[in-house]
Amino acid sequence: MKPLLVIAVTGQERTLEIPDITLLAQWVCLKTMISEHADSELASTPAADRRAFYEARAIPGYYRIYLGAQSTQSVTWLYRHSSTISLSSTVQPPLLDGLSRNVQTVTFILGRLVFHVLAARVSGFELDRDLCYPGLQKIWPMPPSPVSTAELRALDSSQLALVRESFETYLAYQRPRFVDNVI
């Protein structure tokens, strides 16, 4: 893992082969699961999924992980948003596997690289249709080919803000049937 993190911090250009992408996606998943427990009341990954990751490094099927580059002077920051939504016609809270949230986005930078995670356990929410991230390359589920860090478009601070706040924008304009505890 260290050689991949050195690339992130130093901005070295490299083609990430499929094994590199898998390892990087697992690391991002781990950091996402850790970040959501900064306040365990806001967690959205069920214990069974965390256990599967711990035992077999199995990234939950509802995780979407994106990679990008950034051109700001920042070298590290993290932004996390979690919420509870339902797209069904009922106004009742959805089933949450004992948790209070079913959606989270986590955006963080490490050196030159940007990582963005969208994890949504919502029936009918088509992640790749409903939200798009210009300038980011989806790395999980696995892309069909290697990813070159040299080809990643560097996002400036306003573009990073659009990525970071994308889910809040979605909530404001799409108006899901049930929304609770937006943080």
pLDDT of residue 17: 92
Q: Which domain holds residue 34?
A: 2-180
Q: Is 33 helix (H, G, I), strand (E, B) or coil?
A: helix
User: Quick one: which of 136, 146, 148, 162 has its CA closest to 14?
Assistant: 148
User: Quick one: which of 65, 67, 70 has its CA closest to 11?
Assistant: 70
pLDDT of residue 93: 56
pLDDT of residue 42: 76
Domain count, the chain: 1
- pLDDT tens per residue, range 49-107: 999 999 999 999 999 999 999 988 877 788 887 777 777 666 555 567 777 777 888 89
Sign of CA dihedral 28, 32, 33, 35: positive
Q: Is residue 25 within 8 Å of 140, Cβ to Cβ?
A: yes
Lowest mean pLDDT of 33-42, 51-60, 105-114, name the range.
Answer: 33-42
pLDDT of residue 183: 46
Lowest mean pLDDT of 32-36, 155-159, 165-169, 170-174, name the range.
Answer: 170-174
As a whole number, mean pLDDT of residues 110-124 equals 86
